[in-house]
A and B are shown apart, each in its own frame.
Chain A
Amino acid sequence: MEIKEKLKQVLIEDLNLEDVTPDEIGNDEPLFGEGLGLDSLDAVELVVVVQKHFGVEIKDMDEGRPALQSINTLAAFIEEKSNG
């Protein structure tokens, strides 16, 4: 499964996003605030989820802030870290 699709799937399952399907999550849609509507505690869970499912660690704010903007940015971060 492509990283973006898997990301959407684990987001829905692990963050308990109710009434949301993978197709409804846009690749460029902001994850936090007005977009998907995730909040600060979801961010903590997201860091855990990314490590658990993709084996990639988001170490700090410098890495986390640009990576956690959207599905596209997070997928690119995971891909880069996995290949690096």
Chain B
Amino acid sequence: MSRRSDHKSGWSSRSIGSNWQHQFFYLAIKIGGRRAAYFVLYFVVAYYALFSRLARERAGHYVSRRFPEARGLKRLWHGYRMILNFGMVLIDRAVVGILGPDSFEVSLAGREQLLKIRDENRGMILMTAHVGCWQVAMSVLEFLERPVYMLMRQEDGDIDRHYFEHAGIECPYRVIDPTGYLGGTLEMLGVLKQGQVVSVMGDRLLGSDKSSCPVDFLGATATVPFSAYKIASASGAPIVIFFTRKSGPNSYEVEIARVIRVPELPGRESSTFTPYAQEFAEALEEVSRKHPYQFYNFHDMWAVEPPSIKQEGQE
């Protein structure tokens, strides 16, 4: 009698680098600071861009959509810059943990807006994407004076470390596991009902792709999750779309791109929530047009065939 099939997402959070390579960069940061680690990074990324088919393939999904006209060396160059920028973000994240939070300046545009939304006491869904460094945003949300819960999965064997793990401090946000009981949906709903904050990635399917919907993104149909819009509809919590970006060698900016309010909507068909997911996709496209090398998308979000409404009702 089971009604819906379950397709697992093929995405993995694991780094393609080995443990010793990560340790080498951490050592470079301790000895020579951020610049020393960046210096090494240029060569390491050049190696991966030239000789790692896996790295080129993973970068290629986004590069081919963002720069459709690029071929050959030009495409390789775009891939190199994308991986290089991503590597810098990972180094920055480690720098904050190893050398302290004062290593970077973080500015937040929209603080008053966030406080107003908080004061509505309907909870808040902070939706972001793999743009810039989302951990940076988490580190500047203390002023909300509300616990922040992050829907995230860190796979067993993932050697990439978060900045608070480097620093040996308590994680500044609480984690909701999307592979936990009912995908964490009840936990998220409970948190929002208490007026607290849940942060989710709007561009990544976690666990299952059956709660996905198609959106227009960079000239083609991509697949994004719609669970957050359903939860917003059920709880009344506004969705705040924000992105972080590296704005200088030692600075980051956090900007609010949109506030989406999903009314109370019956049912769970993907088509009901597609317009809201499309709003998110448009915001993400705007940021990837402005800052093409700061969207770190290394999986093919255009490849997964989104389930049709008919399929969802079958089985």
- Name A residues whose Cβ lies closer than 8 Å to a Cβ of B: 14-18, 20, 24, 32, 34-45, 47-48, 57-61, 64-65, 68
Contacts and interface: CB of A to CB of B under 8 A. Distances in A.
A61 B1 contact: no
B268 A41 contact: yes
Contacts of A45: 230, 234, 266-268
Interface string B202-220: 0000000011000000000
B125 to A, nearest CB: 13
| Main SS at interface, chain B | helix
Contact of A24 (B1, B211, B234, B267): B1
Given A44-B185, A61-B190, 18 more contacts: A18-B313, A36-B1, A39-B183, A40-B182, A40-B183, A40-B185, A40-B227, A41-B185, A43-B185, A47-B186, A47-B189, A47-B234, A59-B193, A60-B186, A60-B191, A60-B193, A61-B186, A64-B186
Contacts of A32: 182
Given A32-B182, A34-B2, A61-B181, A41 B190 contact: no
Contacts of B211: 39-41
B177 to A, nearest CB: 12
A60 B190 CA distance: 4
Contacts of A38: 3
B230 A41 contact: yes
A47 to B, nearest CB: 6
B282 interface: no
A63 to B, nearest CB: 8
A60 B44 CA distance: 47
Interface string B167-195: 00000000000000111111101110110
Contacts of A47: 186, 189, 234
B314 to A, nearest CB: 8
B146 to A, nearest CB: 16
A64 B234 contact: no
A70 B258 CA distance: 39
A15 B312 CA distance: 12
A17 B3 contact: yes
B210 A20 contact: no
Contacts of B231: 44
B234 A44 contact: yes
B162 interface: no
Contacts of A61: 181, 186-187, 190
Contacts of A48: 234, 264
Nearest to A29: B1
B230 A44 contact: yes
B185 A37 contact: no
B4 interface: yes
Contacts of B187: 60-61
12 contacts: A14-B266, A36-B2, A37-B315, A41-B227, A41-B230, A44-B186, A44-B189, A45-B267, A57-B193, A60-B193, A65-B181, A65-B186
Contact of B1 (A37, A39, A43, A58): A37
B190 A59 contact: yes
A32 B6 CA distance: 13
A16 B234 contact: no
Contacts of A41: 185, 211, 227, 230, 268
B234 A18 contact: no
Contacts of A16: 267, 313
Closest 5 CB pairs of A and B: A37-B2, A60-B190, A40-B183, A40-B182, A40-B185
Nearest to A67: B186
A38 B2 CA distance: 7
Contacts of A58: 186
Contacts of A59: 190, 193
